[in-house]
Each structure stands twice: as C-alpha cells, then as structure tokens.
Amino acid sequence: MRIIINYRRCAVDAVTIVDVGFSYGSRQVIDGLFLTLEAGTLTAVKGVNGSGKSTLLALIAGTLRPSRGVVSLASQQRPAVVLQRSKVSDALPLTVRQTVAMGCWGNRSWLKPLGRGEHAVVVDSLERVGLLALAHRQLGELSGGQRQRVLLAQGIAQQSRLLLLDEPVAGVDEQSRAKIRQIIATEVHRGVTVVEVTHSHTDASEADRVLVMAQGEIVADSQVLCAAAASEWMGGN
C-alpha cells in the first residue's frame, strides 16, 4: 500500500522519506512510506505496541536500513537517540557526568580523553536539564525522572539538529514529566527537530504534529485527526 502524508511546507524539511519499505525477514513491516518532517518542530508518533513506531524511529536514526526507498536527513550530523531510562541498567558504574560525556564520543575512540570544548558541552548539557549539581553522583543513585533527564542531557551533548526520543516520560512522576516536557520544548525552540514516540495523548497534544501508526502504516496525522479520533485509533488506551 502506498501511503502519502502531506503537511504544510513553510520551512526546511529535516527528514525526507521516499517510498520506504522495511521487512523483518519475510514479514513486511513498512511498505511504501512517503513522509517529510519539518525542521525545528516536535513530531509525536503514536500507536499501540507493534504498530511500527520503533521501526520508523530506527529507520530515521539509521540503525535500520530500508529494504527499498530512501531516508534522507538535511543535516550531516548523526541523529541523537535518547532511550527510555528502563533500557539503561541502574547498575552501570557511571557518574552522571560520565554518562553525559558519552554523548561526545561520536566516532572518536572512547579511550581518548575529552577536550576542553567537549567538557564545556557536558557542563552546558547538564545545566540545560538542571542536573549540574549532581554531576558526580552515581547514575544508579538518582530517581527515575532524574535518570531520564541525564539521558536527555546525553542526547543534547551530541549537538545534533535531530533528536529522537523513545517515550521520554514513561514511568516518571508528574514533577519530572513537567521538567522533561520543558526541556523538550526548549530544544525545539532552539531549532532542534524532535521526533518523540509516545503512548500519551497529553504529551502528543503538545507536539506540532501527531502521526498515528497502525500495522506499520501511518494512518492519520494532526491535520485530519482530532483528539477523540486519536483515542479511538489507540483503542482508548
């Protein structure tokens, strides 16, 4: 099936996906996807588990390669991917500063010490998420919301113009959620393009655009889908 999602074109497109298909073995997951994402905006991607959200994020990130078609990015920088805190072990013997510094590694050897400029990036990233005072704490000593903010700081430290978030507020308390939402809004205001996978209607309502996925297809976007209809697509979850 050929899916075309059109959206207003008033700025540079950060991501362009042309006739992309992807399969896991013999199982076709995405087939004939056309999509553009505008630079400097927040796009929320919703859908039930198994709908293709993570596959779409991985195709944009470049960790998966399409079986056909092209995924192109306006920036030459690699996208910064921020995982859920639940996917990062609390037992890792890392400080907050060391965790964020990993965002500066890029293609360099992890054995090579960071330079003065990179140390400044780490400090700036921690300041943006409000955790500079905890820089020397062990990652496992922090609350769930604080750990998620550390992972956001690690993504920010990559200095990419494209930030990919996998359910960044899942399982955190309301105070932490509000802080994380503000960090995301600030990054978008700075001109960073953010793509966020989420199950939350509330979080999606703060996005500039909402894409709803089902069975590997984008079935609706924010132009034609109201909140009530989105709830129906999501099965009321």
- pLDDT tens profile 100-159: 998 988 755 556 777 888 899 999 999 999 999 999 999 889 998 999 999 999 999 999
pLDDT at 20 exceeding the cut of 60:
yes
* Strand duo 13-24 + 68-73: pairing: antiparallel
In a 10 Å sphere around its CB, with 0-12 CB exposed, 13-18 middle and 19+ buried, how is residue 97 labelled?
buried
Q: How confident is the model at residue 4 (pLDDT cuts 50, 70, 90)?
A: very low
pLDDT at 229 exceeding the cut of 80:
no
Give the count of beta carbons closer than 10 Å to the beta carbon of residue 126.
24
- Domain extents in the chain: 41-54+77-233
pLDDT at 227 exceeding the cut of 60:
no
CA distance 57 to 165: 8
DSSP string of 9-77, one letter each residue = -SS-EEEEEEEEEEEETTEEEEEEEEEEEETT-EEEEE-STTSSHHHHHHHHHTSS--SEEEEEESSSS
Q: C-alpha angle 91/173/90, rounded to 5°?
A: 5
Q: Check: CB of residue 171 under 8 Å from CB of residue 31.
A: no
More confident residue, 2 or 207: 207
pTM of the full structure: 0.84
pLDDT tens digits, 30-89: 988 999 999 999 999 999 888 889 999 999 999 999 999 999 999 888 899 998 765 566
Output the six-digit token pair for 53. 């959200």
The one-letter amino acid at 203: D
pLDDT tens digits, 148-166: 999 999 999 999 999 999 9
Q: How confident is the model at residue 90 (pLDDT cuts 50, 70, 90)?
A: low
pLDDT at 17 exceeding the cut of 50:
yes
CA distance 108 to 105: 5
pLDDT at 230: 46
Q: Check: CB of residue 18 under 8 Å from CB of residue 186.
A: no
pLDDT at 85: 63
pLDDT at 170 exceeding the cut of 90:
no
Fold adopted by 41-54+77-233: Rossmann fold (3.40.50)
pLDDT at 220: 87
CA distance 153 to 103: 8
Question: 140-154: buried (b, 16+ CB within 10 Å) or exposed (e) per residue?
Answer: eebeebbbbbbbbbb
CA distance 77 to 85: 24
